[in-house]
Amino acid sequence: MAAASVNTTISMLDSNMETDKLTYEIFSILENKFLFGYDDIKTSDKNLSAPFAGNKNVGTGKVRILTIDAGGSTDGVLAGKSLTHLEDTLRQKSGKPNAHIADFFDVVAGSGAGGVLAGLLFTRGNDGVPMFTAKEALDFVVENGRKISRSFKTGVFRRFSRPAKVFRKVFGDLTLKDTMKAVLIPCYDLTTGAPFVFSRADALEMDGCDFTMADVCGATMADRAVDIKSVDCRTKITAVGGGIAMTNPTAAAITHVLNNKQEFPFANGVEDLLVVSLGNGDSDSGTGNVMSSPAAFVKIAGDGTADMVDQAVSMAFGQSRKNNYVRIQGNGIVGKRNQIIKEENISKGERMRKMVVIAEEMLGQKNVECVLFQGKKLVENSNLDKLKIVASELIKEQERRKNSILPPVILKHAPSSPRTSSATTLSSNSSC
């Protein structure tokens, strides 16, 4: 399903056609999985691990994917709290008190507030380890939520917070090349009228696809048009938030892995993946008068898309979703959230701290699973139970790799000959 690099002379129509084609192919793969049987693997699929099937010590393992939705009712707080609990559990179970989330995942895809969390957790600091722990990333979201997420009004003048300044203070001149694992962060490019996915793989292949992390995070959080350019100034886009491009980036992450044989040579299907998908709270778009704000319609569309992606991916994993696919999503917190927003004489810091308490409550809720075209159902395990289970699976995979001859992941660390990744195809911009 690889596509040729998009040439600068390709017309807007051609670009949109390519994007539509890829979108069709993504969901065709998912559709074939759940409509025609999880176990019905095509014999024509190239199984790179087949020559080693007789050696029980050569298992190729699973590619570990973390995906984080765009901000919902709690603007990244739920996902941040989930990551904090997950990191604490991983440290405890692995016996490594200084372990980071990035140590246990090969791929991260984040949109909106999820993209910011991805950047904070997977960008390499001066000491060679991730810049932020999960707790530090949550604190950042809590303390800077309004600065990085939304515009506001003062009197008759409309002012905008400047998230780029906040992000530059954090990331400095660090770029996508400075991320530690495969990173995918989307926005929507108004110039081409198509999603644009910032990708570490693409950045390592060509400078025209390398952007500063400050710009990447600013673009995926943008609630208005933001002009940004690549490090070499060859690629220019007019970006708005990742929630418009793809609220739930899980399908894009899976597609990237299954079609990037250079970095993930043995990932042939969903059975070769371990996916942890974090939502950011249920929607408040169904409350009040949705006709009062066009933004409400955008939220409804985004929430619906996130649920559909969850349902399709869940069905694609079939019976293996018990151990291979975990979705953490809040349920029924709209009323409490709205009460906090309406409180007067409360500082924004106190308001966000109360949001953290709500996030803690959501982790104690029973986990919600989506059933395609049948809505949602509650399961016995709580969200926190699910995180503990997936932590055990992540550690098992980490231990398995110590005795494996063939690595399931071969991440690039230096530029090589150009290759079109799935992220590049989604990012239908001429220079990439």
Q: What is the rounded CA–CA span in Å between residue 204 and residue 410?
A: 14
Q: Read out DSSP for 38-77?
A: TT---TTS--TTGGGTT-GGG----EEEEEEPPP-TTTTH
Q: What is the rounded CA–CA span in Å between residue 330 and residue 310?
A: 14
Residue 36 has pLDDT above 80, yes or no: no
Q: What is the mean pLDDT of the chain?
A: 76
**Size (the chain), residues:** 432
Instruction: Record the tokens describing residue 285, joined without a space.
Output: 């778009």
Q: Is residue 311 a part of any domain in this protein?
A: yes
Quick one: residue 131, left, alpha or beta (phi over 0 = left, psi -120 to 50 = alpha)? alpha
Q: Which residue has the higher pLDDT, 55 or 211?
A: 211
Q: What is the rounded CA–CA span in Å between residue 261 and residue 258?
A: 7
12-35 helix and 294-317 helix, angle to the nearest 10 degrees: 50
Q: Which residue has the higher pLDDT, 28 or 378?
A: 378
Instruction: Record the tokens describing residue 232, joined without a space.
Output: 């070499």
Q: What are phi and psi of 273, to 5 degrees?
A: -120, 155
DSSP 194: E
Q: What is the value of pTM for the model shown?
A: 0.78
Instruction: Give the residue from 365, 354, 384, 376 showing the smallest Cα distance to 74.
Output: 354
| Residue that has been written with the tokens 């570490």 in this structure | 200
Q: Which residue has the higher pLDDT, 338 or 37?
A: 338
Q: Is residue 233 a part of any domain in this protein?
A: yes
Q: Read out DSSP for 324-393?
A: HEEEE---S-HHHHHHHHH-SS--HHHHHHHHHHHHHHHHHSEEEEEETTTEEEEEEEEHHHHHHHHHHH
Q: Is residue 356 a part of any domain in this protein?
A: yes
Q: Is residue 181 a part of any domain in this protein?
A: yes
Give the model confidence (pLDDT) of 184-218 as tens digits: 999 999 999 999 999 999 999 999 999 999 999 99
Q: 289 CB contacts (<8 Å, ≥6 apart)?
A: none
| Ranges 109-118, 140-149, 235-244, 385-394: which has the least confidence | 140-149
Q: What is the rounded CA–CA span in Å between residue 328 and residue 381?
A: 11
pLDDT value at position 367? 79
pLDDT value at position 199? 96
Residue 254 half-sphere exposure toward CB, CA atoms < 13 A:
29
Q: What is the rounded CA–CA span in Å between residue 259 and residue 282?
A: 31
Instruction: Record the tokens describing residue 95, joined without a space.
Output: 């016996």
- Would you call 111 a catalytic residue per the annotation? yes
405 — pLDDT class (breaks 50, 70, 90): confident
pLDDT value at position 56? 42
Which H/E stretch holds residue 186? strand 182-189
Mean pLDDT within 411-419: 60
Which domain does 140 fall in, by range? 63-152+161-285+297-403
Q: Is residue 4 a part of any domain in this protein?
A: no
Q: What Å distances lie between residue 231 and 121, 168, 213, 216, 299, CA to CA?
A: 22, 14, 10, 11, 32
Determine contact, residues 111/252, Cβ cutoff 8 Å: no
Q: Read out DSSP for 107-162?
A: EEEE-THHHHHHHHHHBB-TTSSBS--HHHHHHHHHHHHHHHH--EEETTEEE---
Q: What's the structural domain count of the chain?
A: 1
Q: Is residue 129 a part of any domain in this protein?
A: yes
Q: Is residue 16 a part of any domain in this protein?
A: no
DSSP 168: H
Q: What is the rounded CA–CA span in Å between residue 401 and residue 423?
A: 27
DSSP 171: H
pLDDT value at position 229? 94
Residue 152 burial (CB < 10 Å; 0-12/13-18/19+)? Answer: exposed
Q: 350 CB contacts (<8 Å, ≥6 apart)?
A: none
Q: Is residue 27 a part of any domain in this protein?
A: no
For every residue of 224-286, which 3-state class applies, written as one string? Answer: CCEEEECCCCCCEEEEECHHHHCCCCHHHHHHHHHHCCCCCCCCCCHHHEEEEEECCCCCCCC
Give the model confidence (pLDDT) of 116-140 as tens digits: 999 999 999 988 899 999 999 999 9
Question: What is the CATH number for 302?
Answer: 3.40.1090.10
Of the residues 111, 285, 314, 427, which is catalytic? 111
